[in-house]
Chains A and B, each alone.
Chain A
Amino acid sequence: MTWHSFINLSTMEHRHLVFAYASVLLIQGGYFGWIAWNWFRTDDRRH
C-alpha cells in the first residue's frame, strides 16, 4: 500500500480504514493536548 492508495477515499473499505486510523490518532492526540493545556493552566505551587 502507498500513501496514494491509503488516502484514496473512493470505496467504503478505504474510507473506513482512513477513518479508523485518523480517529485513533485524533482521540489520543486530543487527550494528550487536553492534559497539556490543563497543565499550563494549573498553577505550580511547589516553587
Chain B
Amino acid sequence: MEQRTPTLRSVAWLWFGIAIVVLVVGFREAIFLTPADAAQGDVGRIFYYHVPIAMLSLLFPYLNFAASLAYLFWRSRDPLKALTADAFAVASAEVAVVYSSIVLLSGMLWGRVAWGIWWAWDGRLTSMLLLWLLYVSYLMLRRFSATGQGQTLAAVLSIFAAVDVPIVYMSIRWWRTQHPAPVFGGGPNSGMDKSMLPAFFWNLTGWAIWGIVILLFRFALERKRQLAEQEAALQAIEASLEIPQ
C-alpha cells in the first residue's frame, strides 16, 4: 500500500501530462491548421469543442448509473464497497454536469451566430437541458437532503436520469427541427470533410483523457473525504468512551 501511492501518483501525473499535450495539439489543429468552414466561416470552429464534448457528455451519466446500481446493491450487503461506489457516483455526476454545461453554453454561443437565436425549444436542446437539470438535481439532493437518505434517494434518481440519455442521443433522429442532423450515422449526407478529421479526433481524444483525469481526481477526493469522516467519527466515539479522571 505504501509503495502503491507513489506509483499511482506518477501514473496520474503522466496521464495529466498526456491530456494537456493532446489538448494543446487539438487546439492548434482546430484554430490554426484546419481551414475555415466554407458555409459558416471561423465560427464553425466551435464544432471541434462542441461536438466531442457533447459525445462525451452522454457517457458520464452511464458511469453514474452503473455506480448508483452498485451502491444500491451493496448498501446493505457490503457498506464499504457501497461507499466506494457512492464516491464514483458523485464524481461521475459532477463530470456529467461539467460536460453538459459546456455543451449547452457553447451551443448557445454558436446558435446565436449560425441561427440568429440563443435558444430554441428543439428536441435535442430541450432533452439536453433536461439531462443537465436532472444531474444538477441529483447533486442538490445529495447536498441538501435532511433525511440521512440522500445517497440512496440520489441513486434512485440517477436511474431515472439515465433514461434521458438515449432520448438525447436519438432526438436529432426522431425530431428534425432546429438542431443539425447527426454528424455520424445520420444518412447518406452525414459525415465530415477529411480536412476536419484531425482536429475532431485530437479534441475527442484530448477531452476523453481529460475527462478520465478529473473523474478519477474527484473520485480520489471523495474517498479521502469519506476516510477523514470515518476517522473523525471513530475519534468521537473513543473520546465519548474515555473515563473522566
Contacts of B98 in A (CB 8 A): 27-28, 31
Take A1-B31, A28-B102, A32-B214 as given contacts and tell me if A20 and B224 are in contact as well, using a CB distance cutoff of 8 Å. Answer: no
Main secondary structure of the interface of A (DSSP, over half): helix
Q: Is the CB of B113 within 8 A of A13?
A: yes
Q: Which chain A positions have C-beta within 8 A of B225? A: 42
Counting chain B residues whose Cβ lies within 8 A of the other chain, the interface size class is 35 or more
Q: Given A17-B42, A21-B49, A35 and B227 touching (CB < 8 A)?
A: no
Q: Are A31 and B214 closer than 8 Å at their CB atoms?
A: yes
Contact B46 A20 (CB under 8 A): yes
Max chain B Cβ within 10 angstroms of own Cβ: one of A5, A12, A13, A44: A13
Contact indicator B45/A17 (Cβ below 8 Å): yes
Interface positions of A from 8 to 38, Cβ below 8 Å from B: 12-14, 16-17, 19-21, 23-24, 27-28, 31-32, 35-36, 38
Binary flags per residue of B199-225, CB closer than 8 Å to A gives 1, else 0: 000000000001001100110110011
Rounded to whole Å, the gap between the CB of B100 and the closest CB of chain A is 11
Q: Is the CB of B45 within 8 A of A23?
A: no
Cβ contact of B106, chosen from A20, A31, A42, cutoff 8 A: A20
Q: Which of B172-229 contact A (CB under 8 A)?
A: 210, 213-214, 217-218, 220-221, 224-225, 227-228
Produce 1/0 per residue, B100-138, CB < 8 A to A.
011001100110110000000000000000000000000
**Does the CB pair B42–A28 fall under 8 Å?**
no
Between-chain CB contacts (< 8 Å), 22 pairs = A5-B42, A6-B31, A16-B46, A16-B109, A16-B110, A17-B45, A17-B46, A20-B46, A20-B49, A20-B50, A20-B105, A20-B109, A23-B105, A24-B53, A27-B98, A27-B102, A31-B94, A32-B214, A38-B221, A43-B228, A43-B231, A46-B227
10 additional A-B pairs beyond A1-B42, A16-B46, beta carbons within 8 Å, are A6-B32, A14-B43, A20-B109, A21-B49, A24-B49, A28-B98, A28-B214, A39-B220, A42-B221, A44-B224
